[in-house]
Amino acid sequence: MEFSTYLNYTVKDFLGDDTFISWITNPTDKKDQFWQSFLNKYPEKEEEVSRAAQVIKAYRKQDTSFNRQNQLNVWNRIEASIRTQKQVPAKVISRPVWLRMAAVFLLATGMAFTVWQFNRQETISTGFGEIRTVILPDQSEVILNSNSDLTYFSGWYFHSREVWINGEVLFKVKHLNRDSLNIKPSERFYVHSNGIEVEVLGTTFNVKSRHEKTNVSLLNGKIKIAYLSSFAKKESLIMEPGDDLEFNHNRLVAKKVLSRPADITLWTARRLIFNNPSLRKIIETLQDEYGYQVSVTDPLLQNLKIDGEIKVSGVKELLETIASTLHLRISQSDKNIIISKISK
Amino acid sequence: MRNNFPLDQERNMLITWASFKEGNWDAYTLIYNSYFKFLCNYGYKFTQDVNIIEDCVHDLFVKLWTNKNNLGNPASVKNYLFKALRHAIFRKTEVSDRFNSIENQDDDTYSFAFEVSFDQQIIAREEEKELQSKIKILLQDLPSRQQEIIYLRYYENLSYEEIADVMGITTSSAYKLFYKAIHNLQELFKISKFKMILILIIFLEFQIFF
């Protein structure tokens, strides 16, 4: 600030001057210096400066209504009020316009929901060791084995019944068709898994799809399977009851006729069923369906086979059976299983 | 004389404020303890009923804690609290409606006497005493809003922008109001030669001490 500014200042002007007020109310060495040198240069302004300073200083020497005890008392009151403050529920104010808007919004949402409902993707999945029975919208029954999932789009009234699966699922598809000469799209039921397509009208069959390998076993009725031939040509064949087809990815690799087709449903009763299984097969089941981590000290052990049939109710019994029939040592801690030879 | 809250402390207070908004109880306590005195002093200018001031400070701080999630970030915590307390006192004494209409009519007063009260113990000199009693008499005749702006400007050292914010007026209104107030204090500036010499002595002493 230039000195010249203050040459014509009256007391009143000083009292209203920001620089001056700031000097009096919040003095610093720098401000003191400025005003001191101003007064040295223009002593005739001393009267005005001192008077203005006096007014402000005198004014600032006011009573202060302050008391430490009061500060503490008020604080205690504040603390008490906050502690006892109850959560007051927000008042619901009903405004006609607001309500109308909400109603319109709800209606729109409802309509959107209805449309969406008919084309909604539904996924049912099971964890390790879990078996689950689900009734589909067409009243067909599906049973998911452990570590499996099934996906479909709702709205089967409008299009054919179609599901996608991973893992093992037993289908008991409801037969909707009444006139075999006239089959409507919605009367067909499709299962997609690992590149193959199963088309049925109403039967009981099992699809097991793990590690690129898919087994389709038919209990009764007829099913049509579409798959790719070795020349990447789309082919299809009709399965008869008791047939068991094995696909690797989408190629047909084996065709068997089951001696006891009814056995394909036995797993649904939480029973472990194996027919002349290799140890590798058993290990696979333990890992895929029950979530165990199985390690074998010698890889060759996996080729060991159990002659005959194993029908057990649980993993514990299964491990005991393997240990006694194959003369192996099996140690288990939580989800880890180690299979080793019995050292002699 | 350096009873203003130092600037860097004001800046730290903004950090404390942010921390309080996140629910930090210690920060909240610090804010209370830092400003209780300033708030009481300011409140005392509106009413000499200490109970009303303390009730207002209580309500203000309880409200702050309850609404901490919805609070903004003020440029100055102190000014924010001043404004809130001013509002609370007006509300409590049920003059808010009148106050608002006053604002609109550009009137200069509200029902409060903006009291000036000097601490007798501090006053040592007769000359100073005389000046103070003169200030008191003059200010008493001023409209309360002019008294308030003098307080905020000289006592709390607020800028015009800050005063405008606290008092809920525009900056140019604050500027005008302040000059009106100073104009009304003209009487103080008329000084006899004899008194002038005395005052000069006092002033020079101030220069030595400060």
Residue in A16, A71, A77 nearest the CB of B179:
A16
Task: Show the tokens assigned to A188.
Answer: 């067909």
Task: Show the tokens assigned to A210.
Answer: 């793990």
Q: Which residues pair with B113 in a beta bridge?
A: none
Does A61 lie at the interface with B, CB-CB under 8 angstroms?
A: yes
Phi-psi region of A159 (alpha: psi -120 to 50; beta: other; left: phi over 0): beta
- The CA distance from A150 to A333, in Å, is 31
Asked whether residue B168 carries a pLDDT value surpassing 70, the answer given is: yes
ipTM of the modeled complex? 0.71
Does A84 lie at the interface with B, CB-CB under 8 angstroms?
A: no
Does A87 lie at the interface with B, CB-CB under 8 angstroms?
A: no
What values do phi and psi take at A327, rounded to 5? 55, 55
- Segments of chain A scoring below 50 in pLDDT: 87-91
Residues of A in contact with B178 (CB under 8 A): 16
- CB within 8 Å: A58 and B53: no
pLDDT in tens, A248-258: 877 788 888 88
Whole-model pTM?
0.44
Residue A127 or residue B32, greater confidence: B32
Supply the CATH classification number for the domain A271-341: 3.55.50.30
Domain limits, chain A: 3-60, 123-263, 271-341
Q: To probe the interface with B, which of A12, A14, A15, A37 has the most B CB atoms within 10 Å? A: A15
Q: What local confidence, expressed as pLDDT, does residue A155 receive?
A: 65
Please tell me which residue of chain A has the smallest CA distance to B204.
Answer: A50
The CATH class of the A123-263 domain is mainly beta
Does A86 lie at the interface with B, CB-CB under 8 angstroms?
A: no
Q: What local confidence, expressed as pLDDT, does residue B3 receive?
A: 42
- The CA distance from B102 to B145, in Å, is 10
Asked whether residue B61 carries a pLDDT value surpassing 90, the answer given is: yes
Give B155 to chain A, closest Cα distance, Å: 6
Q: What local confidence, expressed as pLDDT, does residue A71 receive?
A: 84
Give A101 to chain B, closest Cα distance, Å: 26
CA B77 centroid distance within chain: 14
Q: Which residues pair with A248 in a beta bridge?
A: A213, A251
Please tell me which residue of chain B has the smallest CA distance to A80.
Answer: B62
Domains of chain B with bracketed CATH: 1-94 (1.10.1740.10), 107-210 (1.10.10.10)
Q: What local confidence, expressed as pLDDT, does residue B121 receive?
A: 46
